[in-house]
Each structure stands twice: as structure tokens, then as C-alpha cells.
């Protein structure tokens, strides 16, 4: 019994401290979709995402990495289904929905995205990212046609930093909004 009281008191103090920190966070952010999460929040989120992707899946190689046809198919799919949040050029600054999301969609041309492995990009597209606006586009079942489409997107995402004005214009003509 004597050991139980200090443990319960310690647990109560910890819960009160957590509640105070949570309250301070809510009072300072208002839980609004602020422009950018802080460095700590971003770092923790990226670390958790990295830990959540199984190592074998991170190491998957894109079977059509150098295919211009795959990049073209990925461009068309991206323009129709991804640009609403990520923007046609991948920077998310002029997207229809991305500006209202928290956290904001990442700049897909930036090192933080381009530095991910092909397997990581594939996994993110297929499974989404919890607590963000990124939905899961995979079926959760083995689907060769769906996987091919996801690899097309990975191929195109790798091409985004080199997008030409003609490609951008073509994408704008494909946008559903």
C-alpha cells in the first residue's frame, strides 16, 4: 500500500503536467490550421512517418523509374487527382484545397520529398499519412494495375523539379476544377 500512494501521486502529477502542456498548446494555436507546423512538430511527424514505413518497403525500387511513358501517365493522373492539394507544379502554393489543410501539403519538388526513397513515396501514396490531408489511394489488396499507377506517380514526382512550361500548361488543361 505504501508504494501505491507515491505511484498514484506521480501518475497524477504527470497527468496534470500533460494537461497543462496540452492546454497551453491549444491556447496558443487555437487548434487552427496555422500556416506551418513548428520545427519540433515537423521533425516528430517525419520521424514517426519514417518509423511507420517497414524497411523492406522503403527499399522497393521503382520498376519504371526511367520510363517517359510512366512519367506521362503520372502527369495526367497527378493533374486530375493530386493537383487540387499539391498544385500542378507540386509546390502546393496555388492549390484549390491545399492552402486550407494542416499541415500544408509538402512541396514535392523540395529535398524533403525528393530525398525519400521510391519505396517511401510509393508507400505514402498507397497508404496515406495519418493526421494529415493525405488519403490512402491504395486498395489495401494486391492490385497490379493500381500499383502500376502508383509507380507512374512516383516516376512523375521525381520529374516535378524539371517540369517544363508546356507540361504545366498541359496539366492545367487536365485539371477538373
Predicted confidence (pLDDT) per residue in 5-49, tens digit: 778 888 889 999 988 887 887 777 666 665 677 788 788 888 888
DSSP structure class, residue 105: P
- 30 contacts: CB under 8 Å, gap ≥ 6: none
pLDDT, residue 177, reads 67
For the chain, the domains span: 32-174
Predicted confidence (pLDDT) per residue in 43-85, tens digit: 888 888 888 899 999 999 999 988 999 999 999 999 999 999 9
How far apart CA 79 and CA 88 sit, in angstroms, is 6
32-174: CATH topology: Cytochrome Bc1 Complex; Chain D, domain 2 (1.10.760)
pLDDT, residue 33, reads 61
DSSP structure class, residue 33: -
Task: Report if pTM > 0.75.
Answer: yes
Amino acid at each position: 500500500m505504501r508504494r501505491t500512494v507515491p505511484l498514484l501521486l506521480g501518475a497524477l502529477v504527470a497527468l496534470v503536467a500533460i494537461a497543462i502542456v496540452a492546454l497551453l498548446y491549444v491556447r496558443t494555436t487555437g487548434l487552427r490550421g496555422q500556416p506551418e507546423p513548428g520545427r519540433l512538430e515537423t521533425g516528430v511527424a517525419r520521424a514517426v512517418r519514417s518509423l511507420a514505413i517497414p524497411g523492406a518497403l522503403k527499399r522497393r525500387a521503382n520498376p519504371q523509374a526511367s520510363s517517359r511513358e510512366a512519367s506521362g501517365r503520372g502527369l495526367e493522373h497527378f493533374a486530375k487527382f493530386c493537383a487540387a492539394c499539391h498544385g500542378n507544379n507540386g509546390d502546393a502554393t496555388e492549390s484549390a484545397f491545399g492552402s486550407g489543410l494542416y499541415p500544408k501539403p509538402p512541396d514535392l519538388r523540395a529535398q524533403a520529398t525528393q530525398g525519400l526513397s521510391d519505396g517511401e513515396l510509393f508507400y505514402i501514396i498507397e497508404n496515406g499519412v495519418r493526421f494529415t490531408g493525405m488519403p490512402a489511394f491504395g486498395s489495401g489488396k494486391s492490385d497490379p494495375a493500381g500499383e502500376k499507377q502508383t509507380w507512374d506517380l512516383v516516376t512523375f514526382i521525381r520529374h516535378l523539379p524539371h517540369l517544363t512550361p508546356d507540361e504545366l500548361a498541359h496539366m492545367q488543361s487536365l485539371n477538373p476544377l
